[in-house]
A and B are shown apart, each in its own frame.
Chain A
């Protein structure tokens, strides 16, 4: 099965900072990648799909890039409501798998 590896596992940042999270697939998945945000005690929320497409209603400070095996989620200017855990997910075929998550914490 294709494994998804996220880095870093956690990052400390301040409001206004640019934050970049990476996700690497063990095999090429073209652009079949999604990013989710999860806050404590809540369900995940879809941010980005097809590697770079912003889900409706998601602020434009979130962006995604990459294809093949290497992907990036960027938050251009971190806001207080962005402190959360972020997951990537391969979507090319089954079994679907998630990265281990990246926790964005307040510095």
Chain B
């Protein structure tokens, strides 16, 4: 069955960096777009970024453009989110999500999420 497991979260100071990972299993990872979505404490969902199967098509939300970088390693069935210049407002739960297949498909599988806290 499809599984997405996030890791790499934790406590980081403002201005610091963190790299999140999402390990996928149960499907042909390289065939699928992947996305990151976050949720601030007590708030709604915010889409952050997507990447296509061969890393040639990438997009970001304005709130993270220039600070976050999405990438993937298909040999390792892994998705990454490099987060730099972190701010307090980046605090939240970060989910990786898989669409049905590609761009223009809804997210039918989600990981359980990983917590990121940005605080001094």
A and B bind: no
B-contacting residues of A (Cβ < 8 Å)? none
